[in-house]
A = this chain, B = another copy of it.
Amino acid sequence: MELEAFFPFWDKLTPQQQERVRTRAVERCCEKGTVIYNGGLDRSSLLLVQRGQLRAYILSEEGREITLYRLFQRDVCLFSASCIMRSIQFQVMVQAEKDTRLWLVPAEVYKDLMEESAPAANFINEVLAARFSQVMWLMEQIMWKSFDKRLAEFLLEESALEGTDTLKLTHEAIGNHLGNPREVVTRMLHYFHEEGMVNLSRGTVRLLDREKLETLCRK
């Protein structure tokens, strides 16, 4: 995917501004599993997803994780360049969930651009607002929804994302997505199994009764 295609305001930049972004952007491939960004400030960049899949998550001091959102083709990852905004006071980690190809635009290049160009600044506004909305959705899930619904929704979503009913996921990995200890996941999966909704084997969850899982989500 061309660099220009990521920026809906590309035509509103001056030729000099366009040139600056083009010459400083670099391409990078990341293997599935790579932690691309760990909250540090060195080599911070805006990440543009050409293909693949990223996961943004937070980490507690005790090493517990929770997935905030996923990024797909055409998405822009802002928090790896959070130094472009002084008021960002939290750390998000970013990991490749599939083999991923990225454009990297150095944070300082974009920072200069958004100080000169209102469309470039408003674009970041929209990206930030979209991520904020995803996190608010998650917060409402955590606050108001019980864990059985959240787990059922997660399994159906993963199944849609991977295009299969057989999910290669350990209970620990599911816990890291949902922010719950492994034991809680295991207990609920066994309940789902008893109810005939899933089948469990080592490192695998197979969806058996999608309709029942969907009913649970709507409850």
Interface positions of A from 32 to 66, Cβ below 8 Å from B: 58, 60-62, 64, 66
B179 to A126, Cβ gap below 8 A? no
Nearest-neighbour CB distance to chain B for A82, whole angstroms, equals 8
A85 to B142, Cβ gap below 8 A? no
Complex alpha-carbon distance, A124 and B132, angstroms: 14
A88 at the interface (CB under 8 A from B): yes
Interface centre among A116, A117, A135, A143 (most CB of B within 10 A): A143
A140 to B60, Cβ gap below 8 A? yes
Nearest-neighbour CB distance to chain B for A209, whole angstroms, equals 26
Nearest-neighbour CB distance to chain B for A9, whole angstroms, equals 11
Task: Give how many copies assemble into the complex.
Answer: 2
Which of B118, B126, B138 sits near A115, CB closer than 8 Å?
B118
Known: A60-B143, A140-B60. A128 touches B118 (CB 8 A): no
A129 at the interface (CB under 8 A from B): yes
A29 at the interface (CB under 8 A from B): no
Q: B residues within 8 A CB of A60?
A: 140, 143-144
B140 to A143, Cβ gap below 8 A? no
A86 at the interface (CB under 8 A from B): yes
Interface centre among A117, A118, A127 (most CB of B within 10 A): A118
Complex alpha-carbon distance, A143 and B175, angstroms: 12
A89 at the interface (CB under 8 A from B): yes
A18 at the interface (CB under 8 A from B): no
Q: B residues within 8 A CB of A130?
A: 87, 89
Q: B residues within 8 A CB of A128?
A: 125, 128-129, 132
Interface positions of A from 118 to 148, Cβ below 8 Å from B: 118, 120-122, 124-133, 135-140, 142-144
A114 at the interface (CB under 8 A from B): yes
Q: B residues within 8 A CB of A114?
A: 118, 121-122, 125
Could you give 9 example pairs across A and B, Cβ below 8 Å? A61-B144, A85-B126, A87-B126, A89-B136, A118-B118, A128-B128, A128-B129, A135-B139, A138-B139
